[in-house]
Structure 1
Amino acid sequence: MNKKYLILGSLALVTFLLLVPPLAQDQQYHQFADQQTMLSIPNALNVVSNVAFFIVGLIGLIALLNQPNKYCDQNVLPSYQLFFIGLMLTFIGSSYYHLEPNNFTLVFDRLSIAISFMALFTALFGELVSLKLANKMLLPLELLGIAGVIYWGISEHLSYGDMRFYLLTQYLPLILLPIMLIKYKWQYSHQSSCIFILLFYALAKITEVYDQPIMELTNGLSGHTIKHLLSALSGYWVYWLLKNRKIKLE
């Protein structure tokens, strides 16, 4: 199928980010609603809720290691494996960040997220658009995602914070994945269920924005804590799809 939709989506975001001035990290971002200390753990629920990432990542990785030929084509197997490894790294990176939220610790949180993002995008691109490209894309996209985070971290350290490159690596997959799911046909069943990966992640971003109001509404459970759980649920949905989908018979 013509890839013009993917190209147009990519160009639109790249053009937008080139036109806007450098974007520094808002320091209010580090001021989370839930700052409770429990069992000597600062910001306890925001830290402990990251365990969900480790559990989902471990479940998915074990499944792919035990039965590597059952769940996906070998061309995208490394991408799916790296996605679940990235979730486990998110448990480490995000926990470290929430113990002491600041720009430096946020680098480690975003590095692990970038690894997962790029791996999942590569896997789905391979299955929806071109299996042959999947293996060739994985390393360059991973390096691109990591570079976006490192560049942002260095720019903040040098006092001219610029998140544009990082935002490109984060939001371009979110723009292209819906296009791919609509315009391309999957060889598996449950294609429409893939949208739940994006839906759960979108809900996670919403709860992140309403961190304080949600904590007041729930009387103790902050929006950011719920964000972690919804993001982990998005990751679990990837495992659910791998486990339950079937190859379509022509």
Structure 2
Amino acid sequence: MNKNYLIFGSLALVMFLLLVPPLAQEPQYHQFADQQALYFIPNALNVISNIAFFIVGLIGLTALLNKPEKYCDISVLPSYQLFFIGLMLTFIGSSYYHIEPNNFTLVFDRLAIAISFMALFTAFVGELVSVRLARKILLPLVGLGVSGVIYWGISEHFMHGDMRFYLLTQYLPLVLLPIMLIKYKWQYSHQYSCIFIFLFYALAKFSEVYDEPILELTGVISGHTMKHLLSALAGYWVYWLLKNRKANMS
């Protein structure tokens, strides 16, 4: 299968981010609609909702450690394992961030997210494009994702914040994965059920943008809390696919 789709998609996003000026983190990003405390927990629901990441990560990792051959090829097993480990780390990083939201604590939140994103992307590269390629790029891509977060954190510390590198490592997989799922044939059933991963994540980003209106509408749960739950649901859908898909015999 021609790989030009992946190359052109990557170059287009890289060029776009290089052409735009440096993007600093807006200070109001840390001002969430729901700031209610519960006992000793500040911003309680935004903190507690992160438990969903730990639960999903634990379920997925436990399954892959107990019977890995049931869920995926051994060649992409490290990528899937690292994805679920990243979800568990997101529970730690995001909880830490929401206890005291600022650029410094946000670094830990985004580090865990970067690990999960790159690990999942590599797993799909292995199953759709090339197992050999996936083995080669797993650690470099995870390192690239982590580097993007660290670079952003350092740039904010020195008062010239630049999120472009971080945004590239987050959104490039989101651009390439749908292309891969359309242009390459998966060796398993439920190929187009993968769309739910992106649907849940898109709904999570929508909820994040409409943090306050969602809180006003529901009176209980804010958009950002809902973002955590929907993002965890996207992670759970990865486990659902691993559990329910069947190898194509053709």
Q: Same fold (TM over 0.5)?
A: yes
- Aligned mates of 1:54, 1:39 — CA distance in 2: 22
What is the letter of the counterpart of residue 185 of structure 1?
K
- Aligned mates of 1:198, 1:143 — CA distance in 2: 23
Moved over 6 A (4+): none
Task: Find the counterpart in structure 2 of residue 106 from structure 1.
Answer: 106
Task: Find the counterpart in structure 1 of residue 7 from structure 2.
Answer: 7
Task: Find the counterpart in structure 2 of residue 68 from structure 1.
Answer: 68
Matches within 5 A, 1:82-231: 82-231=82-231
Matches within 5 A, 1:9-88: 9-88=9-88
Q: Which runs of 5+ in 1 are unaligned?
A: none
TM-score, length-scaled by structure 2? 0.99
- Aligned mates of 2:75, 2:233 — CA distance in 1: 25
Deviation at 1:163, TM superposition (A): 0.4
TM-score, length-scaled by structure 1? 0.99
SS in 2 for 1:70: helix
- Aligned mates of 1:59, 1:158 — CA distance in 2: 40
- Aligned mates of 1:22, 1:172 — CA distance in 2: 17
Deviation at 1:68, TM superposition (A): 1.4
- Aligned mates of 1:170, 1:239 — CA distance in 2: 21
Aligned-pair RMSD on alpha carbons? 0.5
What is the letter of the counterpart of residue 164 of structure 2?
R
SS in 2 for 1:69: helix
What is the letter of the counterpart of residue 15 of structure 1?
M
Between Structure 1 and Structure 2, how many residues are aligned?
250
* Identical positions, percent: 81
1:217-244 Cα distance to aligned partner (Å, 9 max, x none)? 0012100000000000000000000000
Q: Which runs of 5+ in 2 are unaligned?
A: none
- Aligned mates of 1:180, 1:29 — CA distance in 2: 32
Task: Find the counterpart in structure 1 of residue 242 from structure 2.
Answer: 242
- Aligned mates of 1:134, 1:73 — CA distance in 2: 12
